[in-house]
Amino acid sequence: MPRVKLQRFTDNASRPDIIEPGKPEYEQLGGRWRTDFFAAPHPLTLEVGCGKGEYTVGLAQRHPGRNFLGLDIKGERIWRGSTRAAEMGLTNVGFVRMRAEALAAQFGPGELDEIWITFPDPRPRDRDIKRRLTSPRFLGLYEQLLTPGGLLHLKTDNEGLFEFTLETLAARSGATVERFTRDLYSETDPEFTEAQAIQTNFEGKYRAIGVPIKYVQFRLT
């Protein structure tokens, strides 16, 4: 393993804003993130599959009166997000290294107020439907962990995943789509401003080659 990557893993082990397997807190924070991890018990937003943390950190900067967590399985990616947050002096943001499938083991019922899913792997093969982050399996997990009426957002460049998500929500009892668009940055309605306000490097590359960004905001109760 390259020396730089090893050093970053060592950094992660000592950073209080990163929760990962091997740290005592990893098994202890479920249901207590607001009170035991963050400095203030503000509403809690989770980004599932945060990558390098650009979106998590961007949201934390925009909303100092809320708390934000970025979830990803890749330690090097989380290191980048943690580093960016520290450079910006943010105290309302943290990161947890784990797989999304284990969400229920890490968060208590109704603990989350909002969830962002930003540019997830579209899992295009039919046999991978259950692994899509907007599959019925994952929607059931999110519903357990969100406060009643909590918001969810999906941003994606992938048309197949976007249409799959809309179809899945239409078939789900109690799901409510509040707004959606197949070309986010062509929208002038201020209701889309929050989704337009942060643009990741990955997102910028797709926009540069003319791929429209899709977005849907919904609730599950």
* 202 annotated to bind ligand: yes
203 is in an annotated binding site: yes
Catalytic residue among 36, 121, 128, 183: 121
| Ligand-binding site membership of 9 (annotated) | no
Angle at which helix 3-14 crosses helix 75-87, to 10 degrees, equals: 60
Please confirm, yes or no, whether 121 is among the known catalytic residues.
yes
Residue 121 annotated as binding site: yes
**Residue 163 marked in a binding site:** no
Amino acid identity, residue 5?
A: K
Which of 140, 166, 162, 161 has the alpha carbon at shortest distance from 220? 140
User: 52 near 109, Cβ under 8 Å?
Assistant: no
| 211: Cβ contacts below 8 Å, ≥ 6 apart | 157
User: Do 96 and 106 form a contact (C-beta atoms < 8 A)?
Assistant: yes
Residue 200 known to bind ligand: yes
Binding residues for substrate: 157, 200-203
Active site residues: 121
